[in-house]
């Protein structure tokens, strides 16, 4: 998420606070996690989806505030929601059995599971090593870089991949350049922006152009298991489903993601699939409109 969104969030907060007297109730507060650095633009689209959903439900629910929290690790975010401290009121992460038990999800994959299609950020001088990949066992020969505590770590390790973790998001790019691991595994929704932001300062980087590692990774908005948390969740879901019904959701997805999908040529990559052991029976696989598929995808008009 870029800093301009953060500024817009503050503007929305001020506007909604000014309007709150019209409804007679205080605005509903959606406190979300901020970007981890000035180069971190991973969640611009996701918070745009939430903001639009909240706008669509203003007549029913009244004013709202979207404001950034202080920086928190994913573990800390979950802690704040579980304990309903008020320091964070909405979290964007993939599902786990613990989250399903302790928190309230909106079971709509916010990015349509585009984030489950992972491509490889690698060193340019090692690109040839990937051209001989034919099987999952070939992929297991490489070392994969991921953030400490990221949900993906457990997914890869459960599928017998070797993972090297780093404690800093920006530092992981430096670790890749230094050869600490072979692949910084990046979601299709993230990698093009990350690469473009760093390609001048890190000319050693390259997006591998043939391979894709897929696992279902529904990323939800999560809320505290309290009356207020359920109310925040209900509003977000109502707005998101209104957007799905009238095509707004697909149009925003296309506006933010189509260029990435086309640039990465996901339809024609050699794709290998692995299981995600975190998924439960609640996962809405039956609703096909919620899931991106590179073989059937058509941009919304």
Q: Look up tokens 């996690």; give the residue.
A: 33
Whether residues 87 and 202 share a domain: the answer is no
The neighbouring-strand residues paired with 272 are 213
Same domain, 190 and 221: no
Q: Which of the two residues, 4 and 137, has the higher pLDDT score?
A: 137
pLDDT, average across residues 208-229: 97
The string of pLDDT tens digits covering residues 144-190 is 999 998 999 999 999 999 999 999 999 999 999 999 999 999 999 99
Tell me if 273 is assigned to some domain. no
Q: Which residue has the higher pLDDT, 23 or 197?
A: 197
Assess whether 106 and 8 both reside in one domain.
yes
Q: Are 128 and 182 in contact (CB under 8 A)?
A: no
CB 145 within 8 A of CB 179: no
Are residue 126 and residue 86 in the same domain, yes or no? no
In Å, how far are 42, 92, 218, 222, 293 from 285, measured between CA atoms? 24, 19, 10, 19, 12
Q: What is the count of structural domains for the chain? A: 2
* Whether residue 146 sits in one domain with residue 29: no
Do 150 and 51 lie in a common domain? no
Containing structural domain, residue 191: 114-214
9 & 103 share domain:
yes
| pLDDT higher than 50, residue 4 | no
The whole model's pTM is what?
A: 0.85
Cβ atoms of 121 and 183 closer than 8 Å: yes
Tell whether the model's pLDDT for residue 8 goes beyond 70: no
Cα atoms in the Cβ-side hemisphere of radius 13 Å centred on 129: 14
Residues 6+ apart with CB under 8 A from 272: 135, 136, 139, 211, 212, 213, 214
Is 140 found in the same domain as 72? no
Q: Is residue 230 part of a domain?
A: yes
How sure is the predictor about 238, in pLDDT bands with cuts at 50, 70 and 90? very high
Q: Is 138 helix (H, G, I), strand (E, B) or coil?
A: helix
Q: 266 φ, ψ to 5°? A: -60, -30
In-domain check, residue 242: yes
Residue 74: give its domain's CATH number. Answer: 3.40.190.10
Q: Give the separation between CA 95 and CA 101, rounded to whole angstroms.
A: 10
pLDDT of 299 reads 95
Q: What per-residue confidence (pLDDT) applies to 39? A: 63
Nearest of 247, 250, 257, 222 to residue 79 by alpha carbon: 222
């Amino acid at each position: 998420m870029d800093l301009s969104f953060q500024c817009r969030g503050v503007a929305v907060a001020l506007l909604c606070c000014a309007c709150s007297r019209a409804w007679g109730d205080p605005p509903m507060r959606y406190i979300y996690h901020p970007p981890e650095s000035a180069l971190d633009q991973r969640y611009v689209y996701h918070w745009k989806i939430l903001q639009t959903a909240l706008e669509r439900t203003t007549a029913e629910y009244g004013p709202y505030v979207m404001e950034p929290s202080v920086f928190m690790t994913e573990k800390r975010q979950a802690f704040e929601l579980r304990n309903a401290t008020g320091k964070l009121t909405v979290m964007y992460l993939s599902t786990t059995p613990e989250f399903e038990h302790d928190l309230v999800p909106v079971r709509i994959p916010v990015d349509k599971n585009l984030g489950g299609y992972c491509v490889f950020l690698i060193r340019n001088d090692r690109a040839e090593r990937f051209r001989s990949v034919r099987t999952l066992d070939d992929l297991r020969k490489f070392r994969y870089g991921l953030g400490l505590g990221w949900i993906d770590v457990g997914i890869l390790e459960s599928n017998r991949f070797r993972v090297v973790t780093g404690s800093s998001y920006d530092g992981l790019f430096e670790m890749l350049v230094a050869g600490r691991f072979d692949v910084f595994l990046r979601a299709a929704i993230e990698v093009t922006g990350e690469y473009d932001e760093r390609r001048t300062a890190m000319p050693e980087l390259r997006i591998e152009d043939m391979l894709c590692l897929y696992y279902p990774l529904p990323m939800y908005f999560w809320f505290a298991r309290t009356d207020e948390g359920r109310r925040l969740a209900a509003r977000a879901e109502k707005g998101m489903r209104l957007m799905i019904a009238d095509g707004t959701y697909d149009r925003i997805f296309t506006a933010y993601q189509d260029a990435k999908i086309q640039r990465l040529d996901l339809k024609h990559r050699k794709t290998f699939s692995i299981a995600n052991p975190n998924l439960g029976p609640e996962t809405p696989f039956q609703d096909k409109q919620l899931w991106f598929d590179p073989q059937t995808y058509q941009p919304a008009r």
